[in-house]
Structure 1
Amino acid sequence: MKKILFFIVLFFVAKNIAAQDNAFFTWDAFQLVAKVNAKWHWISDISYRTIGISSSANQYTFRTAVKRVVNEKWSTTAGVALFRSRTSIDKHNHEFGDEYRLWQEVLLENKLNKSLVISNRFRTEERFFAATATKNSYNALRLRYRLAFIQDITKKVKFQIADEYMRQLSKGDFLFQQNRVAATGIFTTGKKTQLTAGYMWSKLPTTSQHYILLVLQKTISFKKENNGQK
C-alpha cells in the first residue's frame, strides 16, 4: 500500500511541476486488447489529449492494429491510425488538422532477472497530413526506437522508465523529430484490467513539452483459457 501511495504522490508532484510550463498537456487513453488466441491479438486505443488542466482538446487519436506473438520474447504489430490535432496550442484556435497513419513495429523483451525486464521496440510510421489553413498537405516517414526497463515492485505494481528517440524523413530531409523520456507506475486493478499513470517529457527541435499520462487497459479473450486442463 505504501508503494502505491508513493506513485500517487509522485504523479501529483510531476503534475504540479509540469503545470508551471506553458507546453503542458494531459494524455488520457483507453486501450482494448482482444486476444483471438495465444498468437494473434487485436489491439485498439483511443486518446484525448488536453492543453494543461482543462477540457480544451489538443488532440484526438484512434489506433487499431493486429499483433502477432512470435514467442515469449518477440512480437510484431501492424496497424492504422487517425490523429486530429489542433494546429497550435492556443486554446482560442479551433482549427484541427488530420493525420492518417500506417505503422509497424517489432518488440523484443528479455528478462534480466526474476523481476526486471528490458524492452526494445522499433516502430516505423508512414504519416499522411491533410492540408490546413496554414499548411499544404505532405507526407513523412518517422522511425522510432524505445528502450524501457520494467521493474516489478509487487505482484500488482510495476515501475517503468523509458526513453524513445524519433527521427523523421520529410520533404527530402531526415532530421531529429523528438525524444521522449517517461516514468510511469503500472497497476493491475483486476484480472484483465491495468492502469498506467506517470509523467513524460518530450524534447522537440526548438522546444519541450510535458505530459501527464493516464492509460486504462482492458483485455478480453475470445478463446477461454483452460488453465492447463484438457
Structure 2
Amino acid sequence: MMKKLLLLIFLFTIKFSVGQNNQLFTWDALQLVAKVNDKWHWISDVSYRTISISSSANQYTFRTAVKRIINNKWSASAGVALFNNRLAIDKDVHEFGSEYRLWQEVLLETRLNKNLLLLNRFRPEERFFEATSKADAYNALRLRYRVALVQDLTEKIKLQIGEEYMRQLAKGNFLFQQNRVSVAGIFTTGKTTQLTAGYMWSKLPSSSQHYIVLLFQKTISFKNKSNG
C-alpha cells in the first residue's frame, strides 16, 4: 500500500509540475526536538529550498521555539525565525532578501479513533522584511490556520493529509496570501528519529508552486523530568 501511495505522490507532482516554469521546488529540512521535561520542549530547525531539482537555493531558513504542553490535547509555542529569499525564481538572480519573524502557535490534537488523529493549528506571524534593491523595508502580520489528519498505517508508518490557509495584513491591506495542500508519509526510522516525505501544492494569488518535501527529525530527552 505504501509503495502505491508514494507512486501516486510522485505522479501527482509530475502532473502539476509539467509546464510550470521554475515552479517546482525541493524543501529539505532538519529538525531537533529537545524535551526538557514532560511540559517544556525546545524545537529548532533549518531548511534549504531549491529551485527545481537542483542545488540552487531559493530560500534558506532557521527557526527556534519553545513549546509548552498544556494537557494531552492542547499545546502552545512561541519562537523566532530568519528567512533568506532569492528575489526572483531565477538562478541568474543572486540577490537575497532577509525576513525576521516572530510567531506564536496554538495546537489542538484530537484522537478520533485508535489510529486517526485530527490536528488544528492556529499561528500568527509578525514579519519584518529588510530593504532590497527592488523594495523598501516593510512589516506584515500573517494569520495561518491548518487542519490535518494523521492515519496510523503500521506501527512505524503514518499518512498525513493537510490544508493550510493564510491571510496577511501588509501596507494597509488584509488579503489572501496562500493556501497549501499536502500529503506525506511519516516514517519512524529509529527510537529517536523520524523521516517525513511528501508533496505540497501552494496556491498563491497569481500562481501555483509545487514542493517535494523531506524532513528529518531527531528527538533528545533530558533525564530529569518533571510536571512543572
Partner of 1:215: 215
What is the letter of the counterpart of residue 85 of structure 2? S
Which amino acid is the alignment partner of residue 144 of structure 1? R
Instruction: Provide the residue aligned with 1:228 in structure 2.
Output: none
Change (3 A) 1:51 1:180: same
Q: 2: distance between equivalents of 1:45 and 1:17? A: 30
**Pairing of 1:65-84 with structure 2 (within 5 A):** 65-84=65-84
- 1:167 deviates by 0.3
Aligned residue runs from structure 1 range 29-178, under 5 A: 29-178=29-178
Could you tell me how far apart the structure 2 residues matched to 1:14 and 1:77 are?
33
SS at 2:118 equivalent: strand
In structure 2, list runs of 5 or more residues that go unmatched: none
- Give, in angstroms, the shift of residue 6 of structure 1: 2.9
Q: Deviations over 1:58-95 (max 9, x none)?
A: 00000000000001100000000000000010110000
Unaligned runs of 5+ in 1: 226-230
Structure 1 residue 221: Cα displacement = 0.5
Alpha-carbon shift at residue 100 of structure 1 (Å): 0.1
Cα deviations by residue, 1:5-46 (Å, 9 ceiling, x for unpaired):
234423433443344222110000000000000100000000
Alignment match, 2:8: 10
What stretches of structure 1 move > 4 A for 4+ residues in a row? none
- What is the CA–CA distance in structure 2 between the aligned matches of 1:98 and 1:64, rounded to whole Å? 17
Q: Answer yes or no: is the 8 Å Cα contact 1:18–1:211 preserved in 2.
A: no
**Aligned residue pairs, count:** 223
* Aligned 1:183-222 pairs, distance under 5 A: 183-222=183-222
Identity %: 69
Q: Distance in 2 between matches of 1:17 and 1:166?
A: 25
Shift of 1:106: 0.1
- Matching residue's letter, 1:16: I
Residue type of the alignment partner of 2:150: I
**Which is further off, 19-28 or 92-101?**
19-28
Kindly state the Cα deviation for residue 47 of structure 1 after the two structures are TM-superposed: 0.2
Task: Tell me how far 1:96 sits from its aligned partner.
Answer: 0.2
Q: SS of the counterpart of 2:189?
A: strand
RMSD: 1.2
Letter in 2 for 1:6: K
- Equivalent position amino acid for 2:82 in 1: L
TM-score (norm. length: structure 2) = 0.95
Q: Distance in 2 between matches of 1:112 and 1:15?
A: 30
Aligned mates of 1:29, 1:9 — CA distance in 2: 22
Aligned residue type for 2:38: A
| 1:59 maps to amino acid | Q
Measure the CA separation in 2 of the matches of 1:182 and 1:12: 13
SS at match of 1:190: coil
1:198 Cα shift? 0.4
Q: Residue deviations 1:97-152, cap 9 Å, x none?
A: 00000000000000000000100000000000000000000000000000000000
Other structure's SS at 1:136 match: coil
